[in-house]
Amino acid sequence: MSKPVIATASLAGCFGCHMSFLDIDERILELIELVEFDKSPIDDLKKFTRPVDIGLIEGGCCNAENVEVLRYFRENCRILVSVGECAIMGGLPAMRNLIPLKECLEEAYLNSPTVAPEDRLIPNDEELPLLLNRVYPCHEIVKIDYFLPGCPPSADLIWEALMALIHSQPLKLDYPLIKYD
Amino acid sequence: MPDKIKFTIDGKDCYAEPGQTIYEAAKANGVFIPVLCHYEGLKPVGSCRICSVRANGRWMTSCTQPVTNGMVIENATPEVEAYRKAIIEMLFVEGNHFCPTCEKSGNCELQALAYRYQIMVPQFPYLFPKREIEAFPGFLLEHNRCIQCQRCVRAIQTEDGQKIFALKNRSKDLRINVDLKLAARMTEKEVQKAMDICPVGAILKKEVGFRIPIGKRKYDQKPIGSEVEENK
């Protein structure tokens, strides 16, 4: 039997969850014996090269590109996991949900004291992904199978979850593993 | 002295003093029933419903209902637990609970209950309501996190018995309102009491924050309620 394939993505996140993933330390040697990696910032593959078993999503959806990537993952991954607060509820980027988008952009690009008068311009280039009206949790865009809370989820939680998925075992959830911060 | 009352919780024989509420009696018998609006020493109001149990088959809030002889109480059954989980999830989606940025994280009772019930994601959609943050001389009032438990309304008073916190509006617009003049006169100790009594991070003392390191906070290692369960 071939090894399970893992893919990861960071949408509207800070890469903290990926960093926490790398915090599994020397267990990464064990992991590469067990799985293969496909599209992920870790190997910098831009496109899926084969069907993927487990997709890990960091970050929520704040722009059209995030939505496209998330849908691309859903089409190609058998199991999709929301990793971290941002993927689950929008996280810090979702703090802008309390303020109208127009006001956010004006504050950042027009009215902020750090913007020089000649630079006052709201970015609007067709190369830039369009911002959504608000930040959406991933499970409001596509079906998500599992959720790992935390900011970031601890390396132990990510490890336990991966091992449970790879070995098709129920997830052992010790109390200190579930944290929202 | 009247005899002790005998009753059962999930089939376990328990004993209570006459007049004790289900919540108090359960605690004395080493059984944890979660509460959010109730606080030791305050008059119970039964508004958050998280302490609901089935007593003789009927839904009752255990913080307000006295125990009677022979009462059969269902507490940790799948049905009651699912109901409590739903209440916690509704509280999470109904406000703006950004745990990673909250000073109360790790010491928050709402969060601790969510940990205890192992809630990975709420089953309801997030509402992201627009709420204000108010600043007073000694503290901040973070309406994004307020669950309207009214603990502060009941517990915080001036020496001559005037209330500093009160409710205003109704239904989804219900908010905690603060008496500006009385709030300005609050001592540091009174502000600390208000912050401690708040189950979430809605009342925050100014100029301190994130004082206790991660790992040493109240609910980092042990679930809320474990101190009750260790009693028996």
Query: What pLDDT sits at residue B117?
Result: 95
Instruction: Flag whether the ipTM exceeds 0.95.
Output: no
Say whether residue B107 is in contact with chain A using an 8 A CB cutoff.
no
Query: Is the pLDDT score of A144 beyond 90?
Result: yes
Q: Residue A126 corresponds to which amino acid?
A: E
Taking only residues 136 to 155 of chain B, the set having a beta carbon closer than 8 angstroms to any beta carbon of chain A reads 144
- Domains of chain B, by residue range, sit at 5-76, 85-205
Say whether residue A95 is in contact with chain B using an 8 A CB cutoff.
yes
Closest CB to A181: pick one of B99, B118, B130. Answer: B99
Question: What residues have CB less than 8 Å from B215, skipping those under 6 apart?
Answer: B221
Query: What pLDDT sits at residue B41?
Result: 93
Strand order in the sheet with A52-58: A36-37, A5-10, A52-58, A77-83, A146-148
Element (H, E) at B111: helix B109-116
Give me the mean pLDDT over the A104-133 stretch. 94
Query: What pLDDT sits at residue B172?
Result: 86
Say whether residue A60 is in contact with chain B using an 8 A CB cutoff.
no
Give chain B positions within 8 Å (CB) of A180: 99-100, 105, 111, 114-115
Q: Report CB contact under 8 Å: A91, B100.
A: yes
CA distance A2 to chain B (A): 31
Closest CB to A181: pick one of B106, B130, B222. Answer: B106
Query: What pLDDT sits at residue A140?
Result: 97
Q: Report CB contact under 8 Å: B221, A88.
A: no
Say whether residue A90 is in contact with chain B using an 8 A CB cutoff.
yes
Using the Cα atoms of residue B49, residue B52, residue B55 and residue B59 in order, give the sign of their dihedral: positive
In chain A, whose CA is at the least distance from the CA of B100? A181
Q: Residue B141 — left, alpha, or beta (φ > 0 → left; ψ -120 to 50 → alpha)?
A: beta
CA-based angle B69:B70:B72, to the nearest 5? 125
Say whether residue A101 is in contact with chain B using an 8 A CB cutoff.
no
Say whether residue A147 is in contact with chain B using an 8 A CB cutoff.
yes
Say whether residue B101 is in contact with chain A using an 8 A CB cutoff.
yes
**Residue A170, token pair as written in the block:** 């129920």
Closest CB to A151: pick one of B100, B118, B125. Answer: B100
Question: How far apart are the C-alpha atoms of B85 and B52, rounded to whole Å?
Answer: 12
Query: With respect to CATH, is domain B5-76 assigned 3.40.50.300?
Result: no
Closest CB to A98: pick one of B96, B115, B223. Answer: B96
Element (H, E) at B188: helix B188-197
Residues in chain B predicted with pLDDT less than 70, given as ranges, are: 1-2, 232
- Domains of chain A, by residue range, sit at 5-96+134-177
Query: What pLDDT sits at residue B3?
Result: 81
Give me the mean pLDDT over the A102-125 stretch. 94
In chain B, whose CA is at the least distance from the CA of A171? B118
Say whether residue B179 is in contact with chain A using an 8 A CB cutoff.
no
Query: What pLDDT sits at residue B83?
Result: 97
Query: What pLDDT sits at residue A164?
Result: 97
Q: Report CB contact under 8 Å: A175, B221.
A: yes
Query: What pLDDT sits at residue A1?
Result: 63
Average pLDDT, chain A: 96
Give chain B positions within 8 Å (CB) of A146: 120
Query: What pLDDT sits at residue B165?
Result: 97
Whole-angstrom CA distances from A75 to A70, A72, B106 are 9, 5, 37
Closest CB to A181: pick one of B100, B120, B130. Answer: B100
Give chain A positions within 8 Å (CB) of B102: 181
For domain A5-96+134-177, give the fold.
Answer: Rossmann fold (3.40.50)
Helix (H, G, I), strand (E, B) or coil at A158: helix
Say whether residue A170 is in contact with chain B using an 8 A CB cutoff.
no
